[in-house]
Amino acid sequence: MSNTSVAWVPTTMNSTQTFLNTRNSTNLSNQALDEIAASDITSRANYIYSLLAALGFIAGCFLFYSFTQTYRALKRLAWLDRLLWAFCGLQLLLLLLSLHVVVYIPAYLHTTGLGCAALSFTINTVSLCSLFVLVLMAYVLTLDPPSHALLRKPWVCAALVSLTSFLISLMLAGLRGPKEGMQEEADCFMDPVRAGVSYAAARLCLAFLIPYLLQLGLLMAGCVRQWKSKRRFLSGSEEGPVFLTVTVVTFFCQLFYSVVLVRGAQLDQLASLKKEVLSHREHAFLTVARLVLFSGSSASLLIVLLMHRTCRESLHGALRQLRDCCRRPGATQTNRNIIAPHIEITDTLQDIES
């Protein structure tokens, strides 16, 4: 009897050990499959964004060329064109700052806590500056010309936009902070979910709701003002449809990113309570949200290029010149070397007397 029980105990221990090994191997294989699927998602999103970013960068460079040509021809730019030029410059800068995401996908930028905090502060400042430039455009379109004399001066508007964006970004940097230390190297996230729900909610309110609520208030005031005067609003100017389209595109990109960031912070908080970490799919979803945020910059530059009349005419002229340069030297050109008849009628003194 005793011999049977002694022989049964090792058998039970071996089967338990085999079950645990099988379970661990299954968990490891599932984690590996999740990681592969997450890398595939981020890689596909990166390919799409890279194409859109390249088109946006080319459009941004051409916009600067078009605005420069307009300034050289007229020796001045209209007030709305100046604001549009500043907005395009900020969007082009955001495209360059997005390289820290594109280059390292599916991994992440590895730098010190201080360097990552400085990168996040710069991106938030530039993004806020572009949103407040849209607020100024809404103000100019609502009150054309602006009722306040100081807002007609470019340096006053630049100082107001820069100072407001700097202060809001400074508040967000204080909430974000380098959690691990200033000189410790780690993976860098523009807006880390480990900063907490408070940071994500503060960014949602300060960097998203405030600029768009200001724009909404100005647009509603403009609609009421133009309805009383029975005039067209936004559609009555060339920049109105451009402003409205860019605002809608950036609104949805910012909204999607802000909601995903708040959701990721909540999931990270729940995972930390269970002493777990976010899954690879959640990290991939956050990376896709960052790419969507920067895609708004590319889309805005393309929209301005295609909808702004002066820029569109410059694009047509450049394409026409490129087409003429690409023609074969021996090709027949029927529209050249044609002498147009010139008829001139003059009245002589005899004709007048008769």
pLDDT digit string, tens, across residues 256-265: 999 999 999 9
* pLDDT at residue 146 is higher than 70: no
* Residue 286 burial class via C-beta count within 10 angstroms: exposed 0-12, middle 13-18, buried 19 and up: buried
Nearest to 289 by CA among 193, 186, 216, 168: 193
What are the C-alpha distances in Å from 188 to residues 100, 154, 333? Answer: 9, 36, 58
Give the domain ranges of the chain.
Answer: 33-321
CA-to-CA distance for 220 and 349, rounded, in angstroms? 68
Label residue 149 by pLDDT band (50, 70, 90).
low
**Which pTM was predicted?**
0.81
- What does the pLDDT read at residue 354? 43
- What does the pLDDT read at residue 7? 45
Label residue 328 by pLDDT band (50, 70, 90).
low
pLDDT digit string, tens, across residues 105-125: 878 888 888 888 899 999 999
CA-to-CA distance for 354 and 348, rounded, in angstroms? 10
- What does the pLDDT read at residue 225? 75
* pLDDT at residue 21 is higher than 60: no
pLDDT digit string, tens, across residues 280-300: 888 889 999 999 999 999 999
CA-to-CA distance for 23 and 34, rounded, in angstroms? 16
Which CATH architecture describes the domain 33-321?
Up-down Bundle (1.20)
Q: Which has the higher per-residue pLDDT, 59 or 140?
A: 59
Q: Which residues contact 147 (CB under 8 A, 6 or more apart)?
A: none
